[in-house]
Amino acid sequence: MTDSIIHRGPDDEGFYESEFVSLGMRRLSIVDLATGHQPISNEDRTIWTVFNGEIYNYAGLRKNLEGRGHKFSTDHSDTEVVVHLYEEFGDEWPRIAGVNGMFGLAIWDARKSRLLLYRDRSGKKPLYYSVVDHDIVFASEIKALLYHPAVSKDIDHGALFNYFLMKNTSAPNTAFKAVKQVLPGSYMVWEENKGIDVKFYWKLDFTPTNKDITEEEAIKYLYDLLSDSVAVRMNCDVPYGAYLSGGVDSSAVVALMNANQHASVKTFCLGYEDASEGQFKGKTQDVEYARMMAKMLGTEHHEYIISAGQFAESMPDIVSAFDEPFSGTVSTFFLSTLIKQHVKVALSGDGADELFGSYLSHRLAVPIENWERIKNMGKKGLADLSEEEVDTLKPFVSPERFAFMSSVSETDLPAWRYSLSVFKKDELKELLTDDFLEAAGEAVDGNPYSSLVSIGTASDALNKVLEIDQRELLPNQVLPFVDRLSMAHSVEVRCPYLDYRIVEFVNRLPGGMKIKNGVEKYIHKKALANMLPADLLSRPKEGFVQPIYSWMHSSLKEWIKDRLVCLPGQVFDRSRVSRYMAMLDSGDTSVNAKIWNLVCFGIWWELSAK
């Protein structure tokens, strides 16, 4: 099992076995290279841990524990802090001690014969498990669990149905019935003959909204938090660098890193060979802005330029890294091949979009709320609106944008958010076979956003949508591509924006500070105004995504069609697939996301069959 995830830890391996438990791990040595071997125990060897991730504030935690009488055997291992925190504070040690980090870890308490599994607050590090007979098996990746002879490989049709809606499966479910995920911010207690008890030491909370804070106060506090968050993530015993994609978020991280060290920061950017047109125009601008920022900040800048052929050739390895179908962003895989040649650790700007608002659903939230209110006044179109009313619909005020916004607008948040899914329910009922639909059960007629809204805490329109994405999109799509595709190359990515202090502060800010007068990430950009060039701050978001939608209509068109032909007949109605192929042939771009979703599923299906 551990050999299957050697990419997550090529530097070392370790095992602990007793009558009741077997622990194994692969180590990517980042902190305390000489004495940080795992598994690690407490003084009397009654508490053991295996740990994937980093505790950024371990030094202060260790000092506090030493003051309470705890004895440490390592020089400065962050892992050893875990067993003593558990010893001192009990099950909820991450919350009580204020642990700042990313982790998927297990603790074996031999005194009580109990196993505890923990996952960090945002879900940066993965942790999967399977209950087999009366035992539990756990691992950082699904592939390790599937090597266990007792773990079933039967697929979960309901989880896969949701993949066709959302580009990914959603925790706690996975593509396999027997395999589940530990949820972000939770811990699981397993005791023989008692089963599993799931508890939360931390939950997303957008209450109470901090309505009294001024814009100036929010700007200063946010800047100080972000600066400290970057600084603590630069603490490691190996070379480190940063993504520099040419956008605001990665540029801010690099600028703050630059302020915290004298040597040049190593920065990394991904580009594409194709001509600067269509989807590639923005990608060319990414490279140009990254070069501009690298020059301005004096970084040691590196670029990796890939071709469409490289992309297609690598897709099986990319999908294999997830162990599940995935049709979201995969650019990290290629950039990590470059990063690995220079550093072991890289800081990134991931998480900022979900905190401050920039995606289509974020931009729609307030305009839809305002349009539904205006419609109730009997007004039917742009021509009926006053100038003030038009302003409330920004940025959907051109005839084309207004037409789109009004076409998806509904008073019910789960309904309009669902309308942005890759496939609609009726489309899937035609595309998928009857056997598949029957096996998918309740997922076929459900709306995954309904349950997310029902447990929401936010009160204003934008924050409600941001909370949905922090519960679903961030841990189930964004952070998996950050973690799996970097760790596939033995690179650790750290995300300063997901420091829990930042998350808690920003989530309590009013939505009007996040998107204001159509300006995305408003308060974030204001906090960076003295650090970054004005033209960069005003640049439209490009996103760290691969230009597959352009490729599928040009250099990769035949490859795409070959993949569609190979889709499994036990899952898909071939006549409906043929219709999508015909639409691709005609140059219809409305099916781009659907076709890519199908292609990625097909690659996963073939890999799983092997």
Q: Using H for helix, E for strand and C for coil, what is the string for 311-325?
A: HHHHHHHHHHHHCCC
φ/ψ of residue 553, rounded to 5: -105, 10
Q: 237 with 320, same domain?
A: yes
- pLDDT, tens digit (0-9, with 9 covering 90-100), for 350-360: 999 999 999 99
Using DSSP, state whether 25 is helix, strand or coil: strand
Confidence of residue 544 (pLDDT cuts 50, 70, 90): low
Domain boundary among 471, 492, 510: 471
- Structural domain includes residue 100: yes
Q: 58 with 189, same domain?
A: yes
Confidence of residue 284 (pLDDT cuts 50, 70, 90): confident
Residue 542, pLDDT score:
60
| Contact (CB, 8 A) for 36 and 82 | no
- Structural domain includes residue 137: yes
- pLDDT, tens digit (0-9, with 9 covering 90-100), for 411-445: 999 999 999 999 999 999 999 999 999 999 999 99
Q: How far is it, in rounded angstroms, from Cα 353 to Cα 367?
A: 18
Residue 285, pLDDT score:
85
Q: How far is it, in rounded angstroms, from Cα 56 to Cα 101?
A: 5
CA end-to-end distance (rounded Å), the chain: 18
Q: How far is it, in rounded angstroms, from Cα 477 to Cα 421?
A: 14
Residue 134, pLDDT score:
86
CATH number of the domain to which 271 belongs: 3.40.50.620
Q: 385 with 461, same domain?
A: yes
Q: 332 with 371, same domain?
A: no
Residue 159, pLDDT score:
98
CATH number of the domain to which 53 belongs: 3.60.20.10
Q: 369 with 330, same domain?
A: no
Residue 529, pLDDT score:
96
In degrees, rounded to 5, the angle at the alpha carbon of residue 233 between the alpha carbons of residues 230 and 236 is 140
Q: Which residue type, as a one-letter code, is found at position 579? A: R
CA distances from 312 to 303, 548, 597 (A): 20, 10, 14
**Strand partners for 119:** 104
Domain boundary among 471, 494, 528: 471
Q: How far is it, in rounded angstroms, from Cα 399 to Cα 403?
A: 6
Residue closest to 437 by CA, chosen among 576, 572, 324: 572
Residue 539, pLDDT score:
86
For residue 605, the tally of other CB atoms under 10 A from its CB is 20
- Structural domain includes residue 410: yes
Q: Could you say which DSSP state residue 556 is in?
A: T
**Given 3-state DSSP classes, what are the helix, strand and coil percentages for the chain, each rounded to the nearest 5?**
45, 15, 40
Q: Which residue type, as a one-letter code, is found at position 596? A: W
DSSP labels, 77-141: -HHHHHHHHHHHH-TTHHHHTT--EEEEEEEEETTTTEEEEEE-SS--S--EEEEETTEEEEESS
Mean pLDDT in residue range 89-109: 98
Mean pLDDT in residue range 2-30: 96
| Contact (CB, 8 A) for 495 and 482 | yes
Structure tokens at 346: 């890289």
| Contact (CB, 8 A) for 370 and 392 | yes
DSSP labels, 579-601: HHHHHHHTT-GGGHHHHHHHHHH
Q: How far is it, in rounded angstroms, from Cα 364 to Cα 396?
A: 8
Q: How far is it, in rounded angstroms, from Cα 535 to Cα 211?
A: 30
Residue 328: is its pLDDT beyond 50? Answer: yes
Q: What does pTM read for this prediction?
A: 0.96
Q: 348 with 366, same domain?
A: no
Alpha carbons within 13 A on the beta-carbon side of 345 = 21
| Contact (CB, 8 A) for 584 and 552 | yes
- Structural domain includes residue 205: no
Q: 342 with 479, same domain?
A: yes
Confidence of residue 546 (pLDDT cuts 50, 70, 90): confident
Q: How far is it, in rounded angstroms, from Cα 418 to Cα 166?
A: 9
Percent of the chain past pLDDT 70, that is, above it, reads 98
In degrees, rounded to 5, the angle at the alpha carbon of residue 180 between the alpha carbons of residues 176 and 606 is 25
| Contact (CB, 8 A) for 160 and 169 | yes
Q: 288 with 255, same domain?
A: yes
Mean pLDDT in residue range 160-178: 98
Residue 278: is its pLDDT beyond 80? Answer: no
Mean model confidence pLDDT for the chain: 95
Residue closest to 209 by CA, chosen among 509, 511, 521: 509
Residue 224, pLDDT score:
98
Q: 318 with 373, same domain?
A: no
Percent of the chain past pLDDT 90, that is, above it, reads 94
Q: 459 with 349, same domain?
A: no
- pLDDT, tens digit (0-9, with 9 covering 90-100), for 447-493: 999 999 999 999 999 999 999 999 999 999 999 999 999 999 999 99
Q: 122 with 181, same domain?
A: yes
Structure tokens at 66: 């030493």
Structure tokens at 235: 């603490």
Using DSSP, state whether 572 is helix, strand or coil: strand
Residue 279: is its pLDDT beyond 60? Answer: no
- Structural domain includes residue 600: yes
Residue closest to 286 by CA, chosen among 276, 295, 296: 276
Domain boundary among 471, 497, 517: 471
Residue 280: is its pLDDT beyond 90? Answer: no
Going by their DSSP bridges, the two strands 114-119 and 195-200 should be labelled as unpaired
Residue 276, pLDDT score:
44
The domain total for the chain is 4
What's the length of the chain? 610
For residue 235, the tally of other CB atoms under 10 A from its CB is 17
Mean pLDDT in residue range 587-606: 97
Mean pLDDT in residue range 155-181: 98
| Contact (CB, 8 A) for 390 and 397 | yes
Residue 479, pLDDT score:
98
CA 25 to chain centre: 23
Using DSSP, state whether 263 is helix, strand or coil: coil
- Structural domain includes residue 210: no
Q: 597 with 519, same domain?
A: no
- Structural domain includes residue 15: yes
Domain interval for residue 437: 360-471
Q: How far is it, in rounded angstroms, from Cα 169 to Cα 180?
A: 11
